[in-house]
Amino acid sequence: MTNTVDAKHNLHSGIFHPVLRQWQSPNVEITVNNLMYPIFILDNQDATEAIASMPGVFRYGINHLRKLLQPLVSKGLQSILLFGVSKHLKKDDIGSNADSIENPIIQAVPLIRQWFPDLLIACDVCLCPYTIHGHCGILYEDGSINNKASIERISEVALAYAKVGAQIVAPSDMMDGRIGAIKKKLIETGLVNKVAVLSYAVKFASGFYGPFRDASQSAPKFGDRKCYQLPPGSNGLAARAAARDVSEGADMLMVKPGLAYLDIVRHTKDAHPEYPMFVYQVSGEYAMLYHGAQNGAINLKNVLNEVLLSMRRAGADCIITYFAPLILDMLQPKSKC
């Protein structure tokens, strides 16, 4: 016998048909249930603005949201993540406009709830779009973080979003103790059973956020975020950050960015299997795929599908992605005619 394989070394027999191929990857499907769509909401109700650093992504005034969301909800979109963008609202040291009545999130959430009662709304909670210095917390005069004041303010903002109807609050500021502070306020106000806390638990200080800071007009005016975001090489801090947020009462965990940190996703999921695991495919990841495809280096849909599968394989239950509209199209059943 030459050039033959014995039965157990033959892999081809398991993958010659699409249904067989699917059976070989039973837990790494992409469905509408695995997607969350981030949306930038402007403080100018009638405007729509293209974001130069993220071609194909826009900032929307409130009056455009219904038109944007209708077709996506019809295609199965289940959840969104809202970011406020403050272009006209005054910025100050404590981010007063993060929860003022003029804030675009405060205004948009009740409307979206009314228009799309089944759509799950998460709100990013951070001060950086509303502070004059562009940092995620409140600073002492010397520019260092005032942790106590920061988590008090962040929990106030989270509570305000919860009160107008957000079903998930997602603090992305990385201040120590914020999850506990938010949970405490939700308990005190009786909202704790109506609002889940999605912690950006494992957030690295990453170059992949570049385009986002343009999108949300939230770049720090001095310094960087290294004192509150994790060093990219650190497994240990990542594990400790997730464990800490679990102990403070987080309902769901996130690793961010995605592609360069899939080992961390796997570790986090393995360490906390009872918590839904989110992965944020961030702005720089979006831009890389977009430009790669534009320049003919890759086929966008094929590579996107591969990347999403890799995130699911690493343990992600939900992927936050600017590609959600395209993915929803990719998931529509193919017409038979």
Any idea which residues carry the catalytic annotation? 203, 256
Which residue's beta carbon is nearest to the bound ligand PBG? 212
Q: Residue 178 CB, nearest distance to ligand PBG (Å)?
A: 12
Q: Residue 58 CB, nearest distance to ligand PBG (Å)?
A: 14
Interface residue with ligand PBG among 172, 199, 268, 321 (CB under 6 A) is 172
Q: Residue 127 CB, nearest distance to ligand PBG (Å)?
A: 8
d(CA 160, CA 193): 16
Are the C-beta atoms of residues 210 and 284 closer than 8 Å to each other?
yes
Nearest CB to ligand PBG, comparing residues 173 and 245? 173
From residue 281 to residue 310, what is the string marking binding to ligand PBG with x (rule CB under 6 A)? -xx---------------------------
Closest CA to 324 of 281, 292, 269: 281
Q: Residue 188 CB, nearest distance to ligand PBG (Å)?
A: 25
For residue 221, what are the contacts with CB-CB under 8 A and spacing of at least 6?
Answer: 132, 133, 134
From residue 197 to residue 226, what is the string marking binding to ligand PBG with x (rule CB under 6 A)? ------------x--xx----x------x-
Scanning 59-67, 87-95, 122-130, 294-302 for contacts with ligand PBG by CB under 6 A, the matching segment is: 122-130
| DSSP class of 13 | G
Q: Is residue 136 within the footprint of ligand PBG (CB under 6 A)?
A: yes
Phi, psi angles (nearest 5°) of residue 319 = -115, 125
Binding to ligand PBG, residues 49-108 (CB under 6 A)? none
d(CA 245, CA 90): 32
How many contiguous H segments (helices) and E segments (strands) does the chain have?
Answer: 11, 10
Closest CA to 289 of 245, 263, 327, 256: 327
Phi, psi angles (nearest 5°) of residue 42 = -80, 155
Closest CA to 82 of 63, 106, 102, 66: 106
Distance from the first to the final alpha carbon of the chain: 48
Dihedral sign of CA atoms 212, 217, 223, 226 in order = negative
Binding to ligand PBG, residues 15-54 (CB under 6 A)? none
Are the C-beta atoms of residues 167 and 154 closer than 8 Å to each other?
no
Q: Residue 256 CB, nearest distance to ligand PBG (Å)?
A: 7
Nearest CB to ligand PBG, comparing residues 124 and 245? 124
Buried b (16+ CB within 10 A) or exposed e, 84-113: bbbeebebeebbbbbbeeebbbbbbbeebb
Nearest CB to ligand PBG, comparing residues 83 and 116? 83
Nearest CB to ligand PBG, comparing residues 58 and 192? 58
Size of the site for ligand PBG (CB under 6 A): 13
Nearest CB to ligand PBG, comparing residues 99 and 124? 124
d(CA 275, CA 301): 29
In three-state secondary structure terms, 200 is strand
Scanning 61-69, 103-111, 121-129, 238-246 for contacts with ligand PBG by CB under 6 A, the matching segment is: 121-129
Nearest CB to ligand PBG, comparing residues 213 and 266? 213
From residue 246 to residue 285, what is the string marking binding to ligand PBG with x (rule CB under 6 A)? ------------------------------------xx--
Q: Residue 13 CB, nearest distance to ligand PBG (Å)?
A: 43
For residue 17, what are the contacts with CB-CB under 8 A and spacing of at least 6?
Answer: none
Token pair belonging to 305: 């599908």
Q: Residue 320 CB, nearest distance to ligand PBG (Å)?
A: 8
Nearest CB to ligand PBG, comparing residues 232 and 271? 232
Q: Which residues bind ligand PBG (CB under 6 A)?
A: 124, 126, 128, 136, 172-173, 209, 212-213, 218, 225, 282-283
